[in-house]
Structure 1
Amino acid sequence: MSVLKSIVPKEMRDINRTAILEYVRQNGIVSRSAIASDLNLNLSTIVRIIDELMEDKLLRMSGEFEFSGGRRRPLIEIDNSHNVIISVGIGGTKASVALCDILGNILEIKTINNHHCTGESCIKLVESLIDDMFPFVENRILRGISVGVPGVVRDNKVLAAPSVGWDNLPLGIYLQEKYPYPILVENDVNLEALGELWFGHGRTSSNLIYIHIGTGIGMGIILDRCILRGAHNGAGELGYGMFDRSDLLHRYPGFGALESTIGGYGLGERAKEILKDSLNTEELASITARDVFRYAELNAPWAVNMVEEFIDKLSMALVNVNTLFDPDLIVLGGGVMKSGNNYMEQILNKVTDKTPNPIFMKSSELEQPVILGGCAGIQQRILKYCVVKDTL
């Protein structure tokens, strides 16, 4: 049985500090009086915390002023010139690292498209990518290092990430032993959701769902601006959703029912089975989900049927997700969605008027959502962003 705790003064200070930073981040150049009024905080408290944040080089004078009672009062803004974050995203074949400022601007980036690493060699790759960014930090403050992983993560430990050969790997501990900075190891789709929340379509949202349709299908769930993880840190495994009675008759080793049908791997494998008698071995091996959408545009009947099923099952998933979580916004991303983006209007038409609350849906426009999510995640961690939840 959980016990409610009171909030001690230090925790209240952390809450106020985070609230002020978030207010400035969302509103840009602001005055102390506006912060005090909108956050309903005492002006002396605002002044004291802002002075601390300026000393920590998280806020700065903007160079602009407001005039009140004949006096010039300086306005403040986020200090992105002194603060940087190293953010890594690693997948089954592709890995990226970037140096970002705290407003989500990517200052330097490096991508490896085919790394073919697994297990220990993937750890070495992550360390190498991080090391590549240090020369660009220069005299700025490195606020932390984030790593996005395609698997289940709990407390900086990778419980399972089959595509990179990690199982019960304390990656956060390994990295902390080498790098004296705050470390965040997080599921990559959760980071994509955070990236969208902080720097994408979700900037004004508190409750956001990010659905990634790539090789598989994953979902990041943001409620009250914090990640929903679940009892086993597996919340959001939408790819295992079932949308047909026949799904109950089969087991899906590796991939779930939905992603086996409309995920990138599932679409590609189904297309290969259909085309196996009409293509040579080399041509067949190169078939991917992208080709399914390309053939559909050429009106190939088999591809048209597959795309129609893609639209229908994704629409059903969206209706279920919206009904369960009632988000402000659902954002669709991932490589398959880039290929299927032309069908967004059809999907929207299918889901309209199907739920008690309307579905608001957009395609992600972020080029590096995992990288940007790492930038947001580090800030949430060092600022104790979700401290209110932890104290109740």
Structure 2
Amino acid sequence: MNLKLMNKKRVLQCIQKHEAISRAEIAVKVQISKPTASLLVDELISEKWVIEKGNGESTSQGGRKPIQLYFNAKAGYILGADIGGTKVKAILCDLRGTIIAESEFNTSRYLQSGLLSQLAFEVEQMIQKSTIKMQEILGMGVGIPGVTESKSGLIIDAPSLNWVQYPFLTEAKRYFSFPIYIDNDVNAAALGEQWLGNAQNKKNVLFIAVGTGIGSGIIINNQLYRGATSAAGEIGYMVTNKNDMKSAFRPIFQRYGYLESVAGGKSIGINLTEAIQKQPDHPLYEQAMKEELSGELAFSLAEKGDKLAEAVIEDAIEHLAYGIINAASLLNPEVIILGGGVFKSADYILPKLRSMITHYLPSAVKLKTSQLGEKAGVLGAVSLFLHEHDSLLHYQYEGDYY
């Protein structure tokens, strides 16, 4: 990267971090000359990345008040899509992550008939309703629940979508004219939490999503870690019981891993159902004999003191804690963010997890739930675009300058 472009990116980043700010203050913070700072600011203003507003406070010697500079979050817009096994969520937002429009549709309904075609339709509708011009759209980030090759755009394996070796980006080019970047959905959520959530200003982050399956996104020294075959963070494949390794382990779904088969939301529901089926005097015995009970019901019963539900959830929490302890011991993150559907019951789970993790870990680590909640995936997809797309905003991996 040439020196001028690098300094221009640094100036823009400085304005984003420290608005309202003057040209003179930028020169000091970025450690460049005042004329250079002023010239770069003028370029950023002409390109609509920066806007000027009002006047700041006068200097201690009096004199003219400096003009204040602000980042223009409306300089462009980004789409984010979170393709889940149940729903596809999409948003249109500005460069600060402010959501302008959002949409969602059922995954299974369109999986066979054309999921990308439906996503393109939803995107078109959002753009039209927002009155934003197509040329203002910088591009789109997409989170996908599976092993994803970001560079080639190939979905290696996404069990919940039944995609194997699926050429996502090649197919997407038939429907979208702007740049698209894809990654594993939990990787995207980790970036989202670092951008706007509970991992802001943290360079070493572990995001763990616990829903039907269990996955994690890893950020090391401010960079997303994908691994040799783009399968890093598949914490759901951890084995947390040595005795089960000696037996014929059967995953809860085909191609699912051990941990998600014993501690995911689906497995909690199955284990509760089987436990109640052995207790004819349980109030839900008849229901359990007819249908599979949900993980949500298990937590509801446990919070009311149901002993069977408590035992099922305690077992799941133990397995989850072992997985977190092993991952945190290896990665030493500054913060662990917990997300996914299971953490709707965070008040019940977190104290138990914290107690176990604190007991076993060599050093303390902050354990928090996702601040972005159900929007972690779509906002993370937007953050993914900002990280991957080569523009003046592409500086997150270059480190802090001041």
| TM-score when normalising by structure 1 | 0.88
Q: Which residue of 1 aligns with 2:259?
A: 258
> Residues of 2 paired with 1:386 and 1:175: CA distance?
26
Q: Shift of residue 202 of structure 1?
A: 1.5
Give the secondary-structure state (helix, strand or coil) at the position aligned to 1:243.
Answer: coil
| Residues 5-154 of structure 1 aligned to structure 2 (within 5 Å) | 8-9=1-2, 12-68=3-59, 69=61, 70-113=63-106, 115-119=108-112, 121-135=114-128, 136-139=130-133, 141-154=136-149
The one-letter amino acid of 1:178's match is Y
- Retained in 2: the 8 A contact 1:193–1:373? yes
> Residues of 1 paired with 2:360 and 2:11: CA distance?
39
The one-letter amino acid of 1:103's match is R
Structure 1 runs (4+) deviating above 6 angstroms are none
> Residues of 1 paired with 2:105 and 2:168: CA distance?
20
> Residues of 2 paired with 1:173 and 1:66: CA distance?
53
- Retained in 2: the 8 A contact 1:101–1:107? yes
Give the secondary-structure state (helix, strand or coil) at the position aligned to 1:87.
Answer: strand
Q: Which residue of 2 aligns with 1:346?
A: 352
Q: Shift of residue 170 of structure 1?
A: 2.4
Taking only the aligned residue pairs, the percentage that are identical comes to 28
- Retained in 1: the 8 A contact 2:84–2:107? no
Give the secondary-structure state (helix, strand or coil) at the position aligned to 2:173.
Answer: helix
Choose the corresponding residue for 2:380, options 352, 373, 387. 373
The one-letter amino acid of 1:146's match is G
Give the secondary-structure state (helix, strand or coil) at the position aligned to 1:327.
Answer: coil
- Retained in 1: the 8 A contact 2:87–2:104? yes
- Retained in 2: the 8 A contact 1:92–1:116? no
> Residues of 1 paired with 2:294 and 2:7: CA distance?
50
Q: How many positions carry a matched residue from both structures?
A: 380
Q: Which residue of 1 aligns with 2:180?
A: 183
Q: Which residue of 2 aligns with 1:222?
A: 219
Counterparts in 2 of 1:251 and 1:285: CA distance versus 1, 3 Å: closer
Cα deviations across residues 249-272 of structure 1 (Å, max 9, x unaligned)? 325342211111111121122222
Q: Which residue of 2 aligns with 1:385?
A: 395
Give the secondary-structure state (helix, strand or coil) at the position aligned to 2:114.
Answer: helix
Q: Which residue of 2 aligns with 1:355?
A: 361
Cα deviations across residues 310-349 of structure 1 (Å, max 9, x unaligned)? 3322222222222211222111111001124333123222
Give the secondary-structure state (helix, strand or coil) at the position aligned to 2:360.
Answer: coil
Unaligned runs of 5+ in 1: 1-7
Q: Shift of residue 296 of structure 1?
A: 1.1
| TM-score when normalising by structure 2 | 0.86
RMSD of equivalent CA atoms? 2.5
The one-letter amino acid of 2:132's match is E
- Retained in 2: the 8 A contact 1:83–1:143? yes
> Residues of 2 paired with 1:376 and 1:43: CA distance?
32
| Residues 266-345 of structure 1 aligned to structure 2 (within 5 Å) | 266-276=267-277, 279-280=285-286, 284-285=290-291, 287-345=293-351
